[in-house]
Structure formats: structure tokens, C-alpha cells
Structure 1
């Protein structure tokens, strides 16, 4: 009896299964473009996403600056400041993880809900053809546009897939979306921010902490003038 069809059927079934998260990705991209808050609320695990954002922001806030691989001695005052900034990263990130802010972030890669300063313009925007995907953000206008996303994905077991967004961009300009199967549907559970965005959030947390210290510092007692 020929059993060659069994491994072929298994491979085909696995291939079809790996396509299922991309239907959700396609619908998520449409929801981002139409700003469908209801869809985002139903397909995003905000608790897990919020925890991930806090970890990323806190790690960036406490990271010592210097050449890669070099030992950097951080002054005690600076260490106290970055530790406090890491603590401030939590409430700051709380404001980032809402349905509206997720839409803003995935739309063009910039969270408008946070005042993170001016972002550099897209260097390819002046030469891009009409209808071409933006260098930032989740843009899926047609089903064939899913192909590069599929090729840039990493299936991790049966229940998790990590997708680079946008797939053609350099690694430093990509988000990493982690989708996880829950029940019969895929949900967004994590957004790995770009290094620039993590640094901006950490920098803002540091500025807020520095400003808070200045406002709460006791006023200096004037010394009597010498007679």
C-alpha cells in the first residue's frame, strides 16, 4: 500500500496552518487604515502588550551609554536618574497601550499619543511610486502584499508567530509583531519597538524625572551676607 500521500498531506496541512495568522494580519492592517477601534480591542491582548512595552522602555532607560563591548562607569547620580527613569517608564508606557495608540503606532510607526519630539521624514517618500507601501507602518492593501510578510515571518511552534513590519525595511526600522493563537483566533500580544523609539521613550522618562526632581527640591537657604 502506498503511503506517500501521508507526509505530503501533513506538509500541506502545516503550510495551510501557517497561513492562518496572516488572515488576522490582513484584517488588522485594514482595521488600522480604517481606524477600527473595536476590531483592535477584540484582537489585542493589552495586558501582555503593556507588560512587554514596560520591559522594553525600562531596559532602554537603564542601558549604559558607550561603545559596544566597552565597560562604562556610570556616576551614582546618573545611575539614580536612569533607575528613576525606568520606574517612570511604566506610567508613560501605560498611555501608549490603548486601542487608539496601537492604531497610531502601526499606521506609520509613530505614536502620536506621546510627545517624543520630531521624527525624521521618510527618505523614500519623495521617490516612492503612487500606491507603494510606506517605509513605516503596517500597510497591506492587497492579498498578494501578504507574501513578503509571510517570507519575513518566524513560526515558533504551533501557537506563536513573529512578523517583521514592514518586511522590506532595514532591521533597525522594523517592528516585530508577535501573534499568538488563543482558542480559534490569533491575537496580537507583543510589539517589539525599534531601538530609536525605545530610546525616545527612555529619554522622555529621564527628562520627566529630572524635571520632577527640580520641582520637588527644597529651596536653597540664602546665606547671610558678610559684614
Structure 2
């Protein structure tokens, strides 16, 4: 009986550690952003995966704009997506570097890449673990995408269209950032930059 209880307790502890581990990794990333520690950020971020995730969002939105429809609307869906990605990639490449991610995640707006007139950063670090309440909101607001991936909304108290959704994925024994779903305002600004380049 004692062995059964011990095994159950050990399994429960292992499960609890596993459930908390992506949040610990995200906290480590937040501290690296705060310290502007480029080498640590490079360890915690899968840049090619993040670029693909951001490109898909911006291309999807771009194809729904009047300019995107006028330019690519007559093309087959796959071809239009590929052409849209070619237009969007130069802007996304600027956004998905260690330095640009620091700029993006320190206050929620990448001033070096997208600084529209009148745009205001949120004024607080999106990757902030201020209180136990914040941590609990993050945990319960997160969505598991299978055994090795979790999407975490930041800041947890913001409306959905003003949140970042950060996807952490287990690679070996390390959780890494593999996707960022951008808030609507930032996607719109990136599309405006794409259109400016095209114009």
C-alpha cells in the first residue's frame, strides 16, 4: 500500500512539474527580454517557426484587404498565399530577430520596425508575472495543443484582439517559443508597411 501511495505521489509531482514547466520557460524568456540578453533569447526562441507563424497571420490578413484582393485575388489560393508571403516576408524578417523581439516584448510594440504616428505601446511588459493572480489567470487562460505545445495569452486581462498569444513547444527537454499571434493593431500596421513597400 505504501509503495502504491508513493508511486501515485511521484507521478502526480512529475505531472505537476510538467504542467508548470512551459510557464517557467516563458518566465525565463521574460527575464531575458528584461535584461536584453540576446544569447538567452536565442536559446528560448525557434526563430524560423516564429517567422512562419507571423507570416501566415499577416498574409492571411493581407489577402483580405482591398489591395491584397486586387493584386492577388484572381490567383489560386495556394499561389496567392505564396505570392502574399513573398510580399510580407521582408517586413516579418525585420520583426523576428532577437533585438526586434526584445523591442516587441518589452512593451508590446516594436518601435524599431513599426512605429505608426500616434501609436501607443501598452506601457508595461507583456511578459510580466506580477502577482499570483496573474500567474493563475495565465495558467487557466492557456490552451494545450497536444502533449508538447501550449498557447499562452498575454497580457491575460486584455481583450482577445489586444493580446499576444505565445506558443511554447517542447523540443527535447526544453520549451521554446515557436509562435506569436499578434494583436490586431500590430498586424494592421505590418500590412500597412507591406502596402507602402508595394506602392
Q: Please indicate the TM-score interval, normalised by the length of the shorter structure.
A: 0.7 to 0.9
Number of paired residues?
Answer: 190
Residue 76 and residue 183 in structure 1: after superposition, are their counterparts in 2 closer, same or farther (change >3 A)? Answer: closer
Measured against aligned partners, the alpha-carbon deviations of 1:165-221 in whole angstroms (never above 9, x if no partner) come to 1111111110000001111111111101112211211111011101xxxxxxxxxxx
Greater Rg by CA? 1
Match of 2:77 in 1: none
The yes-or-no answer on 1:106 pairing with 2:105 is: yes
Of the candidates 169, 172, 177, which is equivalent to residue 180 of structure 1? 169
CA contact (8 A) 1:107 1:139 kept: no
Match of 1:189 in 2: 178
Match of 1:165 in 2: 154
Q: Distance in 2 between matches of 1:111 and 1:5?
A: 50
CA contact (8 A) 2:58 2:88 kept: yes
Match of 1:51 in 2: 52
Within a 5 Å distance, the mapping from 1:1-227 to structure 2 comes to 10-64=11-65, 76=70, 79=73, 86-121=85-120, 134=124, 137-141=126-130, 145-210=134-199
Residue 76 and residue 63 in structure 1: after superposition, are their counterparts in 2 closer, same or farther (change >3 A)? Answer: closer
Measured against aligned partners, the alpha-carbon deviations of 1:112-144 in whole angstroms (never above 9, x if no partner) come to 221341354468x7xxxxxxxx3x621125677
Deviation at 1:23, TM superposition (A): 1.1
TM-score with structure 2 length normalisation? 0.81
CA contact (8 A) 1:86 1:205 kept: no
CA contact (8 A) 1:179 1:189 kept: yes
Structure 2 residue matching 1:95: 3-state secondary structure = helix
CA contact (8 A) 1:105 1:137 kept: no
Measured against aligned partners, the alpha-carbon deviations of 1:35-79 in whole angstroms (never above 9, x if no partner) come to 1111101111011111112111211111146xxxxxxxx974685
Q: Distance in 2 between matches of 1:78 and 1:6?
A: 59
Residue 85 and residue 162 in structure 1: after superposition, are their counterparts in 2 closer, same or farther (change >3 A)? Answer: closer
More helix by share: 2
Residue 10 and residue 172 in structure 1: after superposition, are their counterparts in 2 closer, same or farther (change >3 A)? Answer: same
TM-score with structure 1 length normalisation? 0.72
CA contact (8 A) 2:166 2:177 kept: yes
Q: Distance in 2 between matches of 1:11 and 1:25?
A: 22
Residue 183 and residue 86 in structure 1: after superposition, are their counterparts in 2 closer, same or farther (change >3 A)? Answer: closer
